[in-house]
Amino acid sequence: MTPVAALPLPRGHRIDRVAVVMPANNEEDHLELALEAVQRSADALHRVRSDVDTRVTVVLDSCTDGSAAVTARFAASDPRFSALEVSYRSAGASRAAGVRASGIGVIRRRPPGQRWTPPPWAGRTWLANTDADSRVPENWLVRQLEFADAGADAVLGSVEPDPAGMDPELLRRWHERHPFREDHPHIYGANFGVRASAYLAAGGFARVTSEEDRTLVHSLRSRAFTVTATDSIRVMTSGRTHARAPDGFGTYLRSLGHLLPPAV
């Protein structure tokens, strides 16, 4: 028998608030383009849904480069942007901190079997997650809210490695294993949206160095939330193989690279 606490929660009304969270660890080489892309997406959403309040939180985790200065320039010219400085060295903890800073709240434990009722606003709030080395498409937020309005509790977007500087054979191997299609099986923190009520019910992002996105999606699915996978909001992400997070995207690319024949 399914525990009461595992039942999906009421979705609430149409989304009227979006919180974008972007963790960054020494990403000054990519951050400006990443923020410009999010800004364009927020502008596109405002043109079609001016009633939606959009905020962007950049979580500067243990940064020692110019990432803070890049973020400060955006925050100074666009009130939708803000920065949060932390020292976790953890993608999961950074994302969770960004969500809290967005006003979503703290995950609270409840007795087993007790049904949890989300705050009234949680069903109307959408969390959009990306990374500081990635560039989202202009329709990124618009399309996520279309899925949310159609009943999705979470949206898994696709990603494509930036071919600039990548070994062509490595890129070919990646595409061979990741065909672009709807209902794909992949989970990427650089392209992940979730309703706040579902996020809170599923326990939020775990304080782990990597795979916090997979852990949360597994929790959402185990609680019967509606998770939609799409290629209609493809994100361009860094194709570097020197990974920032253990078992992250860069580590995976490096593992594919190990399959390449030695140079002659």
pTM assigned to the model: 0.85
Residue-averaged pLDDT of the chain:
86
pLDDT digits (tens, 9 = 90+) for 136-186: 999 999 999 999 999 999 999 999 998 887 788 878 887 888 889 999 999
CA atoms of 196 and 13, how far apart (whole Å): 12
Tell me which of 135 and 6 has the higher pLDDT.
Answer: 135
What are the boundaries of each domain within the chain?
13-257
CATH 3.90.550.10 describes domain 13-257: yes
Expressed in angstroms, the distance from the first to the final Cα of the chain is 60
User: Rounded distance, CA 132 to CA 221, Å?
Assistant: 27
pLDDT score of 1: 30
* Cα distances (Å, whole numbers) of residue 118 to 63, 67, 199, 226: 34, 35, 10, 17
Calculate the alpha carbon distances from 213 to 11, 29, 121, 198 in Å: 21, 24, 23, 14
pLDDT tens digits, one per residue of 176-206 = 888 899 999 999 999 999 999 999 999 999 8
Confidence of residue 243 (pLDDT cuts 50, 70, 90): low
